[in-house]
Amino acid sequence: MASFRLLIISSGIFLLVLSCTATPQKNTTTLLPQMSVAEGKVITARELSVWEFSKTRQFDKLREIMADDYIGYFATGKMHPSDVINLLKSTSFISYHLSNIQVKPVTENTAIIYYDVVQDVTGADGIKWVPQVQASSVYVKRNGVWYTVFYQEMPVN
């Protein structure tokens, strides 16, 4: 009799589970916001300026593009704005060329710019920097101005 009751209870639970329908999953794929061509051009121009100011040693102008909370990840490690500028002061920056530039909006006030770089830069130690890298920067718009808050690069094999 106990096994019969167990069979009835088990069958009831089984039928209850079968009768339940799965809760539909909410679509978490949200389209990223659109960015105007003009905004994309502003971010691109600012990123190109970072490279030009680095080459032409206009470090005060370079610093104006970098947010106070900027972090850069380089082969030598994590750097804040003053670290980057001190490093660049001791380099021989001959040339650079950016290509395949893409801007991807993340929010209304945040965007990622990514691109390929060919560079001719020699560090203070006399060692040439990796000549080809893929780089990306994160920009945020604060008080109507786009600032870079993050930069990283990786060598192209």
pTM over 0.85: no
Residue 147 maps to which CATH number?
3.10.450.50
CA distance 36 to 105: 10
Which has the closest alpha carbon to 32: 103, 106, 108?
Answer: 106
Residue at 23 is within a domain: no
Alpha carbons within 13 A on the beta-carbon side of 106 = 10
| Domain total in the chain | 1
Of the listed ranges 9-18, 67-76, 104-113, 133-142, the least confidently predicted one is 9-18
Residue at 28 is within a domain: no
pLDDT in tens, 46-65: 999 999 999 999 999 999 99
Residue 105's domain comprises 37-155
Please provide the distance, in angstroms rounded to a whole number, between the alpha carbons at the two ends of the chain: 73
pLDDT in tens, 12-29: 443 333 344 445 555 556
